[in-house]
Each structure stands twice: as C-alpha cells, then as structure tokens.
Amino acid sequence: MKLRLVLGDQLSRSLSSLRDLKPGDVVLMAEVHDEATYVRHHKRKIAFLFAAMRHFADDLAKSGVHVDYVKLDDEGNSGSFTGELQRALGRYAVEAIVVTEAGEWRVMEMMRQWEAEFGVPCEIRPDDRFLATHEAFDQWAGRSKTLRMEFFYREMRKRSGYLMTPLGEPVGGRWNYDEENREPLPAGVEAPPRPHYAVDATTAEVIALVERRFGNHFGSLDEFDYPVTRRQALHYLRWFVAEALPKFGTFQDAMRQGQPLLFHSHLSALINCGLLDPRECCDMAEAAYRDDAVPLNAAEGFIRQIIGWREFIRGVYWREMPDYGERNLLNATRKLPDFFWTGQTDLNCLHQSIAETQANAYAHHIQRLMVLGNFCLLAGFDPKEVQEWYLVVYHDAYEWVEMPNVVGMILYADGGLFASKPYAASGNYINKMSDYCGKCVYDVKKRQGEGACPFNYLYWDFVARNRNRMARNPRTSRSVATLDRMAPEKVEAAQADSRRFLDALTATGDY
Ligand code: FAD
Ligand code: DLZ
Ligand code: SF4
C-alpha cells in the first residue's frame, strides 16, 4: 500500500498525490506542533486550518478513503511531519510514500530527506493546482535581472485562454484595466453584507483547542464565521461573483474605516489551503463577464490577481530561494515597533489596519501594501521582522506568497527584482483612497512639526536617505527633483521630525 501525506494547505480532492488513490492506500493528515509554532501564527489562522483539515478528512473518509488523522492532542503526537510519517510507517506495511510538493522551501527540504531517512521510496509530485510549472516560470524569466508581472500575465492569458478572443487578442482590446481599478469609495456606496458560516461541533472543538494551546498567540477567535468546508467555500465563491465582483474592479484600491472587506473576494485563504481551485475562481469570473453580470474591469482585475500576481509571486519565490528572505538592499535595520502587535497607535490608518488584522486575520491588499507596507518601508524596519509579522498575522500567509510580497513588493529589499520602484507614498495617497485621515489626530495636509502626518515627513526623509538610487530611476526621479527644490531647512526639519518620531517607538520584540 501507499501512504499519502496530505498537508494543511493541500485540501483538494484533485491533489496530485491523491489522483491514483487505490483501495488499501492510507491518507495521512496530522496536526503538528512544529507547523503551528515555527512562527506564532494568528489564532484564527490555526483554527481555520485545523477546522478545514478535519472537515476535509471527514469528507474523504465518507467517500470511502482510509484516512489516518492525527489530532494535535492525540497521545504520542510527535509534533512534526517527519515524526508523524515515522510513526505511521510503524502502523502500516508501506511500499511507498506519495506527497505533493510543499508550498514552502522549509518543508520541501524535509520532503527531500524522507526517502533516505526512512528507507522507503518517497515520490514527490508537482503541485499542479498552480497554472504555471516551475520550469515554465523559469523559462519565461530566463536570466533576467528584472521581471515584470505584466509580461508574465500576458503569457498566462494566452496560455490559459482567459478573456481572449478566438483570434488570440485580449477581450476588449486591452490586456489590463488597472487604471480603472483605482476609484476611492464615494459616500453612499456600501459593501454588500457577507454570508456567515455557523460554527459546527468540529470547528467549535478546534476553536477550544486553539484557545487552550495557543491562547497567547496574536489575534482574536471571536465571531469566527469563515468557510471551513469545500461546500461552504464554493458557496462563498458564488456569493462573491454575484454580489461583490461587479464593483471589485472599480474600488479595488479603496479603503473605508470599519469596512475591512469592501468588494474584495476574501478568498485567498480558501485558495491557498486548497478548498478552492484558482482555475474555478477564474472560470466563474469569466462566465459572469460573458453573461453581462460583471464589467470587464472587474473580471479582468480579479483574473489578473490570480493568474497574474499569484502565479508570478510563486514563481519568484522558487526562483530566488533559498536566500531570498535574507535580502536587505536598503540596509533597513530598525526593529518593528510593539504597536504592530497591539494596534495601539494614534496613526489612525495603521490603528484601523492592525485592529482589523487582529480581529479577522485579514486586511485587504491596499492596507497591506500602501498603509502597513508603506510605513514599514518609510520607517526602515528590518525585512526579517517585517516578514515574520506578515507570516504570523494573515490567515492566507505561507512563505511562498508572503515573502516576495514583503521583500520585493513593499520593502524593495531585492533592489527592484520585480517592483519598478519603491512603493513609498506620503499621507496624501492614504487620504485620497480612504476616510482614515478625517478621523485621525494628525493633519494629513501638514508636512512637518507638531501634529503633522508622520507619513509626510517620513516620506521626505526616505527620499533624502535613498536620494541617489531614486534619482537614477525614472519612476522616482521626480520626487528627488522636488526634494532638491525644497529649502534645506525644510528637508532638515523632515529629517528631525522623522528621527524624533522613530526614536520614540518602542520595540521590545515581544508578541
Ligand atoms: P482579492 O483582492 O479579492 O484578490 C483576489 C485574489 O488574488 C486573492 O485572493 C489572491 O489569491 C490573489 N492575489 C492578489 N494579489 C496578490 C499578490 N500580491 N500575491 C499573491 N496573490 C495575490 N496574499 C496571500 O495569499 N498570502 C500572503 O501571505 C500575502 N501576503 C502579502 C503581504 C504583503 C506585504 C502584500 C502587499 C500582499 C500580500 N498578499 C498575500 C497579497 C494580497 O494582499 C492578498 O492575497 C489579498 O489581500 C487577499 O485578499 P482577497 O482574497 O480579498 O484578495
Ligand atoms: C500553517 C499550518 C499549521 C498552522 N498547522 C499545520 C498542521 O498542523 N498540519 C499541516 O499539515 N499543516 C499545517 N499548516 C500548513 C503547513 O505549514 C504547510 O502545509 C506548509 O507550510 C507547507 O506549505
Ligand atoms: Fe494615516 Fe496620516 Fe491620514 Fe493619520 S493623517 S490616517 S497618520 S495618513
């Protein structure tokens, strides 16, 4: 018989390691302490994943598969994937282990050891839930020192056929409707109410377990209502396409206080753990467009995030590992302040984004990029600390997707491998795209001195610190030209304000 290990982010019935399942084979799934604590994940993330794993195992078992499921509190649980495989090899006469490749380098390294370690053949199959293979990505990327998502995305559109005409042209005549994805939310436009999924006995048991074992981890488990089964995930996807997708495109970059989800799909955790397949998400979005139920800027914007950004980011991770996480081109060394863990800051945009993250293990892309990420870039926080924070706090976070978004997209720590410029912005951007500033103690229009928005002086301090690099880049040289026209006292004042602000941050490293 074959022993098929299924990891917590592999909850797909069509997984490559399950495809040729035969009677007599055993599917092994294990809740292990090492995975829950290699970083101290948000409680909600652990609860979501364990609940999803248990439901997936139940569904498999109901369809007649022999599932061996090890719960976290089961006696003898060794606490690691390797330990659980070792124990399972003692329970069954195993002729081969079959796995689907892990999403993270760390776990892939373990997988590569198993055959030698156990003396049993271990077949590692590709994860073909992704549309692009590692080889296809590497072939596309070649030896280039800079990679641009837009060109990769066009290739993916051609290869997948999404939103293409029979003549091989992009539907609507353009590849990208990004410029139509940037409207702030006008007064009167409200986000649709979301479906809630009731906590059943399985999920309730998991929530109690997480509270008991990981009660001191970041975040809250209150009002847990996220999908944890394949059926609920599909329901949520259908709801999104019908109710939120039509406005997703237009208001993709908007933020509003007290509205964490707006028109975003909230599907990333479901796609990343395998309950939803990225292709079915794109199929449904395209079908809604072809039925005239959603506009092109919405369908294209959503499909671009999935077959473009998501695939591209994964390709970058595997191409650049194992040392990608070590990059720190801008030499940023400041410690992450405690308020990233407590939410206690009077910068309203940060307070709102962190409080929502604590409550929901979710913040939408622009909060992650232009509020939290922008602040980390401007303040010069150590990339390793920022990586850990993003990996801990979001329910969709796995290193393959978190790391390039942090290292490459927000911190420019890889020197612009795929970001055409550092995404640095003053308070003006946040004010344009949100209503946070109107409710803040700081004045977004004020550039320096008492009461000025910290993003404003931090921005000019950042430009001054990185002057030479930014002057060489045509996308940032205008900011340098503006800096050069500023009176020297103003630049010095921005630098002094920044020093005072940053030196006052406390960073104990505890969370
Ligand atoms: P929507 O806005 O509805 O977008 C649809 C889907 O597109 C998402 O569900 C996701 O699957 C995909 N997507 C969109 N943007 C990206 C992107 N940049 N990279 C990869 N996939 C993308 N996403 C994660 O899944 N896990 C992470 O750990 C993660 N960390 C991030 C860290 C930073 C600093 C930044 C800037 C972004 C990060 N993202 C991450 C990407 C993105 O912010 C989230 O995928 C998105 O906010 C999830 O919400 P949603 O499902 O409502 O997405
Ligand atoms: C994130 C996570 C957590 C918290 N716990 C488990 C677990 O107990 N068992 C498991 O199989 N997977 C878990 N995961 C997901 C893994 O960390 C993920 O599969 C690896 O990072 C490989 O991508
Ligand atoms: Fe954030 Fe500045 Fe606006 Fe306050 S004024 S919410 S700190 S951007």
pLDDT at 305: 97
Same domain, 258 and 382: no
- For residue 145, the Cα-to-chain-centroid distance in whole angstroms is 24
309 lies in the same domain as 442:
no
The two beta strands, 66-70 and 2-5, are unpaired
**194, 370, 396, 411, best to mutate for ligand 1 pocket (most atoms within 8 Å of CB):** 396
Cα 330 to chain centroid, rounded: 23
Give pLDDT, residue 178: 80
Q: What is the pLDDT of residue 451?
A: 96
Say if CB 483 and CB 464 are below 8 A apart.
yes
Whether 191 maps to a domain, the answer reads no
- Which residue range forms the structural domain that includes residue 23? 2-125
Q: Are residues 59 and 107 in the same domain?
A: yes
**Nearest ligand, CA 432:** 3
Q: How confident is the model at residue 264 (pLDDT cuts 50, 70, 90)?
A: very high
Q: Examine the domain organization and report whether 163 and 294 are in the same domain.
A: yes
| Secondary structure string (H, E, C) spanning 273-288 | HCCCCHHHHHHHHHHH
Helix 230-239 vs helix 278-290: crossing angle, to nearest 10: 30
Residues in contact with ligand 2 by the CB-under-6-Å rule are 7-9, 30-32, 35-36, 41, 46, 49, 102-104, 107, 398
pLDDT of residue 180 exceeding 80, the answer is: no
Question: How many domains in the chain?
Answer: 3
Q: For residue 229, how far is the Cα from the chain centroid?
A: 20
Q: Classify the complex by whether its ipTM is higher than 0.90, answering yes or no.
A: yes
Q: In sequence order, which residues have a C-beta less than 8 Å from that of residue 391 and are 6 or more positions away?
A: 39, 41, 397, 398, 399, 402
Average pLDDT over residues 377-390: 98
Is the domain of 237 the same as that of 364? Answer: no
pLDDT tens per residue across span 267-284: 999 999 999 999 999 999
Which amino acid makes up residue 441? V
Residue 286 has pLDDT above 90, yes or no: yes
Q: pTM of this prediction?
A: 0.98
pLDDT in tens, 424-441: 999 999 999 999 999 999
Tell me, what's the pLDDT at 511?
81
- Is position 76 within any domain? yes
Query: What residue type is 124 in one-letter code?
Result: I
- The predicted structure's pLDDT at residue 25: 98
d(CA 45, CA 52): 10
**Among the residues of 394-487, which ranges form H helices?**
399-404, 427-433, 454-465, 467-472, 477-485
Q: Is 357 within 8 Å of 363 (Cβ atoms)?
A: yes
- Classify residue 142 by burial, with Cβ atoms within 10 Å: 0-12, 13-18, 19+: exposed
**In terms of domains, do 360 and 496 share one?**
yes
- Residues contacting ligand 1 via CB (< 6 Å): 264-268, 271-272, 302, 305-306, 309-310, 313, 364-365, 368-369, 373, 390, 394, 396-397, 401-402, 405-406, 409-410
Regarding whether 143 and 247 lie in a shared domain, the answer is yes
- What pLDDT is attached to residue 489? 96
pLDDT, residue 8, reads 98
Cα distance between residue 110 and residue 483, in whole Å? 50
Residue 67 has pLDDT above 80, yes or no: yes
Across residues 316-328, what is the average pLDDT? 98
What are 449-503's pLDDT values in tens digits? 999 999 999 999 999 999 999 999 999 999 999 999 999 999 999 999 999 999 9
In a domain, 331, yes or no: no
User: What pairing do the DSSP bridges indicate for beta strands 26-30 and 2-5?
Assistant: parallel
Question: How many Å apart are CA 485 and CA 32, to the nearest integer?
Answer: 58
CATH number at residue 467: 1.10.579.10
Question: Residue 162 region, left (φ>0) first, then alpha (ψ -120 to 50), else beta?
Answer: beta
Q: What pLDDT was estimated at residue 102?
A: 98
Domain membership flag for residue 215 = no
248: pLDDT confidence band, cut at 50, 70 and 90?
Answer: very high
Interval 5-58: pLDDT, tens? 999 999 999 999 999 999 999 999 999 999 999 999 999 999 999 999 999 999
State which ligand 2 atom lies nearest to the alpha carbon of 41.
4
SS (H, E, C) 338-397: CHHHHCCCCCHHHHHHHHHHHHHCCCCHHHHHHHHHHHHHHHCECHHHHHHHHHHHCCCC
| pLDDT band, very low/low/confident/very high, at 181 (cuts 50, 70, 90) | confident
454: CA distance to ligand 3 center in Å? 7
The verdict on 17 and 101 lying in the same domain is yes
Ligand showing the shortest atom-to-Cα distance for residue 438: 3
Lowest mean pLDDT among 131-135, 177-181, 371-375: 177-181
What is d(CA 222, CA 212) in angstroms, rounded to the nearest whole number?
A: 14
For strands 96-100 and 2-5, give the pairing: parallel
Provide the sign of the torsion angle of the four alpha carbons 97, 103, 107, 113, taken in this order. Answer: positive
User: Which CATH number does the domain housing residue 99 bear?
Assistant: 3.40.50.620
- 443 and 499 share one domain: yes
pLDDT at 144: 87
Whether residues 115 and 140 share a domain: the answer is: no
Residues in contact with 438: Cβ distance below 8 Å, sequence separation at least 6, in sequence order: none
Q: Is residue 286 part of a domain?
A: yes
Ligand 1 geometric centre to CA of 365 (Å): 6
At 29, phi and psi to the nearest 5?
-130, 145
Whether the CB-CB separation of 3 and 97 falls below 8 Å is answered with yes
CA of 8 to the centre of ligand 2 (A): 5
Ligand 1 atom closest to Cα of residue 409: 36
| Mean pLDDT of all residues belonging to the chain | 96
Choose which residue among 5, 6, 9 to substitute to test ligand 2 binding: the one with the highest number of ligand atoms within 8 A of its C-beta.
Answer: 9
The answer to whether 314 touches 130, Cβ cutoff 8 Å, is yes
If asked whether residues 279 and 385 sit together in one domain, one would say no
pLDDT digits (tens, 9 = 90+) for 323-351: 999 999 999 999 999 999 999 999 999 99
Q: Within this chain, do residues 86 and 144 fall inside the same structural domain, yes or no?
A: no
- CATH number assigned to the domain comprising residue 139: 1.25.40.80
Q: Check residue 364 and give its pLDDT.
A: 97
> What is the rounded CA–CA span in Å between residue 335 and residue 64?
52
Our answer on whether the CB atom of 348 is closer than 6 Å to any ligand 3 atom is: yes
Which of 82, 105, 125 lies at the terminal end of a domain, its last residue? 125
